[in-house]
Structure 1
Amino acid sequence: MEKLFDHRVDRRGTSSQKWEKYSGSDILPMWVADTDFAAPPAVVRALHERIDHGVFGYTNTPTELNALIIERMQRLYNWRIEANWIVWLPGLVCGLNLACRAIGEASDQVMSATPIYPPFISAPRLSGRQVLKVPMQQVDRRMLLLADDITTSLTPQSKLLLFCNPHNPGGTVYRKAELEALAERVLQHDLYVCSDEIHCDLVLEPGLQHIPLASLGPEIAARTITLMAPSKTYNIAGLGCSFAIIPNPQLRQRFINVRKGIVPDVNLLGFTATEAAYRHGDEWNQYQLQYLRENRDYLLTEINQIPGLSLLPIEATYLAWIDVSAAKLTNPAHFFEQAGVGMSPGRDFGDSRFMRLNFGCTRDMLEEAVRRIRAALVNELPA
């Protein structure tokens, strides 16, 4: 099965966001967070079977899918949840926006760590809330949102914390003690949390395990909206299926109310792919994780040998957060595109000193990207 990930699927001409951005140019697309790997064979088979049925009408959430999520949370995280806690959504980003609308009032503050995935900054503003940015700290070569910084940053208008674990960008996997400290501050200051845990199945560092914030106990669970999805892990983002887990019935009802008439239901192929991925995709993902670990290790070694660049250890995700500040580039995104590598500019995440590179691709493509980056910087920087 390992050879599946060495096979480069030609995504040109498929309306792929990732590949269409640089259509007609010799730029390797390594920006948006989807991989270039084909979905697990079990997912493809399930979709074929459903399509062969031939009828694609309005579809309820399959009862067996809720049961599968309940079993998965118990098996992976020792987290006992109930079916009515699950709210299905056609995407995780809409979950961030709904959380901002469901908690607090207009002009209240939503706290968010930075740097962060851009919708964490746009969702509060689109919801009529203020954004309160809390800079992350580098501790022992890991980027962290520190509990003390939550306390020192918040104001009486702070109502909601948007949290990301594993973190995007940077790949931090929060340890239990770190989560407990965050939970303590959330409870102490009467905050709610929307915890984006979409990369929970992409922990690369051996010995680390994802811990859902809400699994720590009933008190923090009652103040948490947990967002998860199979999209990043199994490369099925285009099928639009994610879910929120909301134990607090009042909070859950507010969340459901603000979506009415605006957010559509999940489509039937999204449900089909999700069920197949979670039921049959774990072994496939273990092979994927090994491939991504090898890509990560290669990238860490190579990037840290290129003048002007540095890269901290990556504990999870397939997204490298590369410090380009020492290269002193006027426009890093344009510079690297000119070199033939299209990355996500750090300014979109809140820190223009960085670039984000997606290494969820074949090794030969990653090696070519590194070659181009090295050649461009060696020619750019003085000896």
Structure 2
Amino acid sequence: MPTDFDFDTRIDRRGTHCGKWDKMEAMFGVSPVDGIPMWVADMDFAAPPAVRAALQKAVDHGVFGYFGDDSDYRAAVANWMKTRHGWEIDTDWLSTTHGLVAGVSHCIRAFTDPGDGIILFTPVYHAFHKIIAANDRRIVQSPMTREDGRYRMDLVGLAASLDGSEKMVVFCSPHNPGGMVWSVEEIRALARFCEAHDLLLISDEVHHDLVLPGGPKHNVAMVAAPEQADRMVIMAAASKTFNLAGGMTGGVFIPNPELRAKFEAKRATAGASPNSLGMLMSTAAYAEGAEWLDALLVYLDGNRRLFHDAVQAIPGLASVWPDATYMAWVDFSGTGMGTQEFTDRVEKSARIAANHGPAFGIGGESFLRFNFALPRSMVKEASERLADAFGDLQ
């Protein structure tokens, strides 16, 4: 496989049933003709060559039936987790879901009842809020504090607020939207908290491969706190790592056999046959995508630095430095503007679509989330547009 990968070429995704581009105008009022999509978390880069080769082989075969033997997939996942994360898994732990949001939904239905409280450390990934509410559970927001530009969980404050109806924590590791990589000590403290309060810990680690150069090592929750592994569920996938979100293939790891049986019973209610093309893509990515990922991380680091420095140079704006992911979490509170005013400047003046901070819960009111997984020329253009849109503050 080649080692010289191209992340600079702009690939025209307009009119290709691409949510990121083709839904941008309806959702944000930003035209795909001259707008820059920096919202939904997929990358504007071609997938690894090995993935495209696997799909081409399937296309050439020409038959697209139900997926069968998944032993190659399970072996590739196990090898990836061991070599990339130092995590030895039993492949029996692994259940495949139609994406990880579906996996969270199955967990909610398997392990809690309507009206139960589910804890989120906010601000956090907006889809968690939606899927909890859609399942008629109660969202318990635990606002995080910020110290030296870094979010921290307030477990003391959370403990004081519990009323006994809370059954589960949905944890985001690395953190989305802030990009923090949680330390072993932080994860252990959370795991002990969950044990003390009889809570299940659902750890969404879908961005675990996207720790950028110079950042701390990602810590799998089960590796960091093995004593509490029986009350944990880990979620991971190739989707964010290799830009395969459309393959709708998520991995849910449950070592506790009783919890796994409950999960499988709920998963079966939605049909258990995986997306065959998603399985082929994920297998190829895990088996042969390491060099591509290493090159991607170097490229994303360049984009991160470019966008972060540009935002920091605009008076009133402040970007949280992300250790991981390809998202920038930008605070506009220093402008003195209300949410609608700074959002209008970004969307109408700069013609950039970014995720609205309030959707991430308490603590997101003055923020927007920007996806910088774009060709660098587009990140540079977006940076210049933001500077112009807020030029009167300089």
In structure 2, the CA distance between the partners of 1:61 and 1:286, relative to structure 1 (3 Å rule), is same
| Matched position secondary structure for 1:342 | strand
Counterpart of 2:358? 347
TM-score by length of 1: 0.95
After the TM superposition, which residues 158-173 of structure 1 pair with which residues of structure 2 at under 5 Å, given as runs? 158-173=166-181
The offset of 1:186, in angstroms, is 1.0
216-225 or 308-317: bigger deviation? 216-225
2:387 — aligned with what?
Answer: 374
Q: For 1:4, what is the secondary structure of its paired residue?
A: coil
CA-CA distance at 1:145 after TM superposition: 2.1
User: 1: distance between equivalents of 2:277 and 2:357?
Assistant: 34
Q: For residue 99 of structure 1, report the CA deviation from its aligned partner.
A: 1.2
- In structure 1, distance between residues paired with 2:160 and 2:107: 23
The C-alpha deviation readout for 1:73-104, integer Å capped at 9, x for no partner, is: 22233322212110001101111111111112
**What SS class does the counterpart of residue 33 from structure 1 fall into?**
coil
The residue identity in structure 2 corresponding to 1:259 is: R
TM-score w.r.t. length of structure 2: 0.93
* Residues 228 and 149 of structure 1, relative CA distance in 2, 3 Å threshold: farther
Question: What is the RMSD computed on CA atoms of the aligned residues?
Answer: 1.6
SS in 2 for 1:326: helix
Question: Which residue among 71, 76, 83 is the counterpart of 2:84?
Answer: 76
Deviates more, 1:9-18 or 1:64-73: 64-73
Q: Structure 1 residues 176, 129: CA separation in 2 closer, same or farther (over 3 Å shift)?
A: same
Q: 1:329 — aligned with what?
A: 337
Contact 2:213 2:297 in 1 (8 A): no
Q: Distance in 2 between matches of 1:60 and 1:193?
A: 31
- Give 1:43 shift: 0.6
1:305 is the counterpart of 2:313 = yes
Structure 2 residue 149 is the aligned partner of structure 1 residue 138: no
> Does the Cα contact within 8 Å between 2:99 and 2:248 map onto a contact in 1?
yes
1:47-67 Cα shifts (integer Å, max 9, x gaps): 101121111111125212112
DSSP 3-state at the match of 1:44? helix
Is contact 1:144–1:172 with CA below 8 Å preserved after alignment? Answer: no
Task: Give SS of 1:250's match.
Answer: helix
Aligned to 1:67: 75
Establish whether residue 176 from structure 1 lines up as the match of residue 184 from structure 2: yes
Q: Which amino acid aligns with 1:275?
A: T
Instruction: Please say if residues 125 and 131 of structure 1, whose CA atoms lie closer than 8 Å, have aligned partners that are also in contact.
Output: yes
- Aligned-partner Cα distance in 2 for 1:209–1:220: 21
Select the residue among 3, 6, 22 that pairs with 1:4.
Answer: 6
8 A Cα contact 1:134 1:153, kept in partner:
no
Structure-1 separation of matches of 2:80 and 2:157: 33
1:201-216 paired onto structure 2 within 5 Å: 201-206=209-214, 208-216=216-224
The separation in 1 between residues aligned to 2:5 and 2:95, in whole angstroms, is 36
User: Conserved in 1, the CA contact under 8 Å of 2:233 and 2:253?
Assistant: yes
AA at the equivalent of 1:14: T
Amino acid at match of 1:195: S
Tell me the distance in 2 between the aligned counterparts of 1:298 and 1:263. 44
In the TM superposition, residue 37 of structure 1 has moved relative to its aligned partner by 0.5
Q: Does 1:288 align with 2:296?
A: yes
2:100 and 2:226 map into 1 onto residues whose CA distance is 24
Task: Give, in whole Å, the separation in 2 of the partners of 1:226 and 1:107.
Answer: 24
**Structure 2 stretches lacking a partner, 5+ long:** 26-30
Indicate conservation of the 8 Å contact 1:329/1:335, yes or no: no
Q: Using the TM superposition, name which of 328-337 and 279-288 deviates more.
A: 328-337
User: Measured at CA, do residues 149 and 52 of structure 1 come closer, stay the same or move farther in structure 2, by a change above 3 Å?
Assistant: farther
Range with bigger deviation, 325-334 or 129-138: 325-334
Match of 1:29 in 2: 37
Structure 2 counterpart of 1:361, one-letter code: L
Does the Cα contact within 8 Å between 2:80 and 2:287 map onto a contact in 1? no
Matches within 5 A, 1:223-238: 223-238=231-246
Question: Residues 241 and 271 of structure 1 are in contact (CA less than 8 Å); yes or no, is this contact kept in structure 2?
Answer: yes
2:131 is the counterpart of 1:123: yes
Q: CA deviation at 1:218?
A: 4.1
Deviates more, 1:195-204 or 1:180-189: 180-189
Q: Distance in 1 between matches of 2:337 and 2:261?
A: 49
2:57 maps to which of 46, 49, 74: 49
Shift of 1:299: 1.4
